[in-house]
Amino acid sequence: MKIAFAVQNYPPAFGGSEFLVKNLAENFTSRFGHKCVVLTSNAYSCDAFNSLDCPKMPAGITAEAGVTVRRFNVNPEINEFVKKYLALSDKYNFPFNELARMYKRGPRSLDMFKAIISEECDALILTSFPLFHIGMGYIAKKLFDKKIIINGSFHINDEAYENELNRMIARSADGYVCNSPAEYDYFTGYGVNSDKMIVIPPAVIDLPADKLCKSDAKKILNISSGKLILYFGQIFKNKNIELLINGFCKFIENGGNATLIIAGGGFSGYYNILLQIINDFPDYIRSKIIIKINIDDAEKNILYSAADVYVTPTISESLGLSMIEAWAYKIPVMANGIDQLKYIINNGKNGILFEKNNPDRLADGLLEVLNNRGLSEVLAEEGHYEFMKKYDKNTNIEKYDEFVRKIINA
């Protein structure tokens, strides 16, 4: 079968949706014999959709692990008429307000739009909300009856996601893959036909084959004493990293002894803002915070191997792939108590959910997990069991292939 994927960015761009599409396309090709093409932007991060300062890759066509990847140049500039319309539509709630906002988020590329419409395929898989290429796919469905499957990576309780346009697009799709039961409940509650929906956790994470001894990994990182607190993921404002830093500061002030490593993609405009935030802390805090960006798989393995606890402070999340990866490494997990993560973490059993956006409770949780070996071991073991039970990569890729075939043959 011929499968086309449309995704905002594609590795070496950084992000969960990006890695998901890469894994699906490559496995669909190598394991199931599908012919796969990826339609994507030439950006390293979504910030490049609206900024001239962010780096971009060359546009063009490449063959990567048997997959045809078509990268299209994005236009970060918006003409003056559209700017005025957007400003007024926010104020007066004009018709097509949500479509205008989706257009503003990007990626804006006429060539990518043409490719989404014209690419011959048995199914077009669209990832992820709330970006404009999802709207392009919806138009392809309505005007040209293209069969579309959406993997929305939907963030509940986020105003950028929760609107009638996105719900309408989901209802119009031929199939919808949910990352979590929370996403499934949300869309069925708004009238999406359950017969065309399925919950499949993202098929991204393998069991670590080359995990290092914790002490050896810490030596490589030059951490000679204390515990290691890890955040790994995109460095965007909505990841709420400031909450983690503030909670870490209170943890140190309350007698905690640890190093905080913030690691992930560094192609966003928020990265420089984060550096300034850290620089404003006193030296005894600043000296215990390390930022590592644009790291490769070997460096990531060292970080996870060395970590004593993983923390996700995000205020908006679809699933939390880095958190799941921490479970694969048998690392105890702590997370901000947002609604969507309550579907994933059983508080006190396979992880700790601290009170939403409360740095004091984050600090308390860090002290409890890092000073209570028994609790830490239980959280790590139960989290690893959860990973083995629900997040096996090969099993979920097979489920995905079965669902795509079902939708195509319907």
Report which residue type is found at 116: I
pLDDT in tens, 306-360: 999 999 999 888 888 899 999 999 999 999 999 888 889 999 999 999 999 999 9
User: Which residues have a Cβ under 8 Å from the Cβ of 114 and sit 6 or more positions away?
Assistant: none
Q: What pTM does this model have?
A: 0.91
Q: What is the CATH number of domain 2-205+392-409?
A: 3.40.50.2000
CB 264 within 8 A of CB 233: yes
Candidates 393, 88, 407, 368; CA nearest to 227 is: 368
Sequence-separated (6 or more) residues with CB below 8 Å from residue 61: 68, 69, 70, 71
| Best CA proximity match to 107, nearest among 80, 70, 142 | 70
Rounded distance between C-alpha atoms, residue 169 and residue 190, angstroms? 12
Q: What residues of the chain score a pLDDT lower than 70?
A: 95, 266
Rounded (10°) CA dihedral 79, 81, 84, 90:
-90
pLDDT of residue 384: 96
What CATH number does domain 214-390 carry, 3.40.50.2000, 1.10.760.10, 3.20.20.30, 2.40.50.140?
Answer: 3.40.50.2000
d(CA 40, CA 164): 25
Same fold, 2-205+392-409 and 214-390: yes
Q: Quick one: which of 47, 49, 26, 30 has its CA closest to 38?
A: 26
Which residues pair with residue 405 across a beta bridge?
A: none
Instruction: Give the per-residue pLDDT at 14.
Output: 86
- pLDDT number for residue 95: 67
Q: Which sequence spans correspond to the domains of the chain?
A: 2-205+392-409, 214-390
Neighbours of 118 (CB within 10 A): 10
* Predicted pLDDT at 328: 95
Burial 125-151 (b: 16+ CB within 10 A, else e): bbbbbbbbbbbbbbebbeeeebbbbbb
Q: What are the tens digits of pLDDT across the range 46-62?
A: 999 988 888 899 999 99
Nearest to 347 by CA among 330, 332, 357: 332
Contact (CB, 8 A) for 82 and 103: yes
pLDDT, tens only, 110-142 = 999 999 999 999 999 999 999 999 999 999 999
